[in-house]
């Protein structure tokens, strides 16, 4: 059976101080050669953790060495017919910086589905085995404008996405576009009316081509042609032959995820593994469709390990 696994990154595979502090503390001991840091849980047990480079906003994520081992086991070999895809709302620059620390993947997706990179070791002569799917990137041109201007300052970019950006900037919103070319991020203020205000700005200037979702307590604004579910569907239908280790259509798709921007992807999958619930929208869908989800009773990287183990046991008996 050809299995396709989509894994969110932040809050799913990677965790932060707000969670790690509730589980224990780092001892200060580390294996510099392997990049392993010792973490002592509340019961006094030692665990091997990997600290990722800080993101553009200064957040430093952590994932367990066991997470890497479980994904390696899941991908297995060609006979297992399993494809593993990282799918994130993160800016592309952050994902590229993290690749040396994250699990080996057959493809990765950034900017909430805006950009897709396939692993193609047999045909690439560059330092990285990943090649961007430019046809997918160009499919967003009606929303993001000319790709020739994609790395210009946002006020100089064309397209409805940047028209919305300019309206919000003029109104004093705190916006983040560093490292993005197919979306921008809005820092939430916590005001009850902010979501309606954002929706009105998108309706005013988005030309029906722009939408938003919440991620990590912020709003991500991006094309309707993008989104994790749309990128996942594209990969499912177009990666046969692109990912050279597998050349078959997938008859089962599963996801491991946690947040609002994962909901459409989750509901399109055959089954979903949830290490933690980071949004009320996801919680509501779990309540309505409990058989569609497997939940962990633990937190942080330990919950991630539980869900990866459950995935291997259920999907790859």
For residue 207, give both structure tokens.
């030309």
> Which of 223, 243, 272 marks a domain boundary?
223
Residue 19 and residue 82 share a domain: yes
**pLDDT by residue for the chain (317 residues), tens digit each?**
688 999 999 999 999 999 999 999 999 999 988 889 999 999 999 999 999 998 877 889 999 999 999 999 988 755 557 889 999 999 999 999 999 999 999 999 999 999 999 988 776 688 888 989 999 999 999 999 999 999 999 999 999 999 999 999 999 999 999 999 999 999 887 777 888 999 999 999 999 999 999 887 789 999 999 999 999 999 988 765 555 555 556 789 999 999 999 999 999 999 999 999 999 999 999 999 999 999 999 999 999 999 999 999 999 87
| Alpha-carbon gap, residue 215 to 133, rounded angstroms | 24
CA distance 90 to 208: 24
Do both 98 and 235 map to the same domain?
A: yes
* 181 and 43 assigned to the same domain: no
Residues 162 and 36 in one domain: no
In this prediction the pTM is: 0.93
Whether residue 53 is found in the same domain as residue 85: yes
Give the range of the structural domain holding residue 190, as residue numbers without chain letter: 141-223
CATH code (residue 50): 3.40.50.1000
Domain ends where: 223, 241, 276?
A: 223
* Residues 100 and 15 both lie in one domain: yes
How far, in Å, are 27, 74, 90, 169 from residue 79 at the CA level? 40, 11, 32, 52
Q: Which of 244, 314, 304, 293 is nearest to 1 (CA)?
A: 314
Residue with tokens 């849980």: 41
**Are 125 and 148 found together in one domain?**
no
Which residues lie closer than 8 Å to 258 by C-beta, 6 or more apart?
8, 11, 12, 274, 275, 276, 277, 278, 279, 282
110 and 35 part of one domain: yes
Indicate whether 146 and 122 sit together in one domain: no
Alpha helices in the chain (DSSP H): 17-23, 65-75, 92-98, 134-138, 141-144, 160-170, 194-205, 228-238, 263-268, 280-288, 300-315
Q: How distant, in Å, are the alpha carbons of 141, 152, 166, 222 from that of 149?
A: 11, 5, 15, 17
Q: Strand 3-7 to strand 82-87: parallel, antiparallel, or no bridges (unpaired)?
A: parallel
The reply to whether 257 and 119 lie within a common domain is yes
Which residue, of 186, 202, 223, is where some domain finishes? 223
């Amino acid at each position: 059976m050809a299995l396709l696994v989509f894994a969110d990154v932040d809050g799913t595979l990677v965790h932060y101080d707000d969670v790690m502090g509730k589980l224990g503390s780092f001892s200060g001991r580390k294996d510099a050669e392997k990049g392993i840091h010792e973490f002592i849980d509340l019961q006094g047990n030692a665990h091997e953790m990997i600290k990722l480079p800080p993101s553009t906003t200064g957040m430093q994520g952590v994932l367990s060495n066991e997470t890497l081992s479980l994904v390696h086991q899941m991908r297995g070999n060609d006979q297992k017919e399993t494809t593993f895809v990282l799918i994130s709302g993160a800016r592309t620059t952050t994902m590229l910086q993290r690749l040396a620390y994250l699990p080996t993947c057959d493809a990765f997706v950034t900017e909430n589905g805006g950009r897709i990179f396939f692993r193609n070791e047999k045909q690439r002569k560059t330092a990285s085995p990943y090649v961007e799917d430019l046809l997918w990137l160009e499919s967003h041109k009606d929303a993001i404008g000319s790709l020739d201007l994609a790395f210009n300052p946002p006020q100089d970019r064309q397209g409805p996405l940047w028209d919305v950006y300019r309206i919000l900037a003029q109104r004093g919103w705190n916006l983040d576009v560093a490292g993005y070319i197919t979306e921008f991020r809005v820092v939430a203020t916590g005001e009850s009316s902010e979501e309606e205000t954002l929706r009105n700005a998108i309706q005013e200037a988005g030309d029906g081509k722009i939408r938003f979702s919440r991620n990590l307590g912020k709003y991500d604004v991006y094309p309707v042609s993008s989104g994790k579910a749309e990128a996942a569907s594209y990969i499912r239908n177009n990666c046969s032959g692109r990912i050279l280790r597998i050349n078959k259509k997938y008859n089962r798709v599963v996801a491991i995820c946690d947040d609002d921007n994962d909901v459409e992807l989750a509901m399109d999958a055959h089954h979903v593994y949830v290490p933690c619930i980071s949004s009320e929208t996801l919680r509501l869908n779990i309540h309505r469709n409990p058989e569609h989800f497997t939940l962990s009773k633990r937190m942080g990287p330990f919950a991630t390990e539980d869900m990866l183990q459950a995935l291997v046991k259920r999907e790859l008996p």
